[in-house]
Amino acid sequence: MKITAFNGSPRGAHGNTHVMVEAFLKGAEKAGAEVENIFLVNKNIKHCLGCFACWFKTPGRCIQKDDMEDLLEKYMSSDVVICATPLYVDHVTGIMKNFMDRIIPIVCPQFQKDECGQTKHVHRYDRYPAMIMISNCGFPEQDQFALLKLYCKRMREINKAEVLAEIYRSQGPLLTADHLVLKPVIGKYKRLLMKAGEEIVTGGKLSDDTVKKLEEPLIPEELYIQQTNKYMDEMVGKV
Ligand SMILES: Cc1cc2nc3c(=O)[nH]c(=O)nc-3n(C[C@H](O)[C@H](O)[C@H](O)COP(=O)(O)O)c2cc1C
What is the per-residue pLDDT across 180-222, written as a single tens digit (0 to 9) for each?
899 999 999 999 999 999 999 999 999 999 999 999 999 999 9
Q: CA angle 219-221-226, nearest 5°? A: 100
Q: Whose CA is nearest to atom 1 of ligand 1?
A: 88
Residue 7 CA: nearest ligand 1 atom is 26
Query: At 231, which CATH number?
Result: 3.40.50.360
Tens digits of residue pLDDT in 112-170 = 998 888 899 999 999 999 999 999 999 999 999 999 999 999 999 888 899 999 999 99
Residue 144 CA: nearest ligand 1 atom is 11
The per-residue pLDDT of the chain, averaged, comes to 96
How many angstroms is it from 101 CA to the middle of ligand 1? 21
What range does the domain containing 122 cover?
2-235
Q: Whose CA is nearest to atom 3 of ligand 1?
A: 88
Please give the DSSP secondary-structure letter assigned to residue 91. B
How many angstroms is it from 224 CA to the middle of ligand 1? 15
How many angstroms is it from 86 CA to the middle of ligand 1? 6
pTM for this prediction: 0.97
> Is 168 buried (19+), middle (13-18) or exposed (0-12) by CB count in 10 A?
buried
Q: Whose CA is nearest to atom 19 of ligand 1?
A: 138
- Residues with C-beta less than 6 Å from any ligand 1 atom: 9, 11, 15-17, 86-90, 136-139, 144, 172-173
Q: How confident is the model at residue 239 (pLDDT cuts 50, 70, 90)?
A: low
Provide φ and ψ at 135, rounded to 5°: -145, 155
Q: How confident is the model at residue 175 (pLDDT cuts 50, 70, 90)?
A: very high
Residue 199 has a pLDDT of 98
Please give the DSSP secondary-structure letter assigned to residue 169. E
What is the phi-psi region of residue 50: left when phi exceeds 0, alpha when psi lies from -120 to 50, beta otherwise? left
Number of domains in the chain: 1
Give the Cα separation of 170 and 1 in Å (integer). 29
Q: Are 24 and 193 in contact (CB under 8 A)?
A: yes
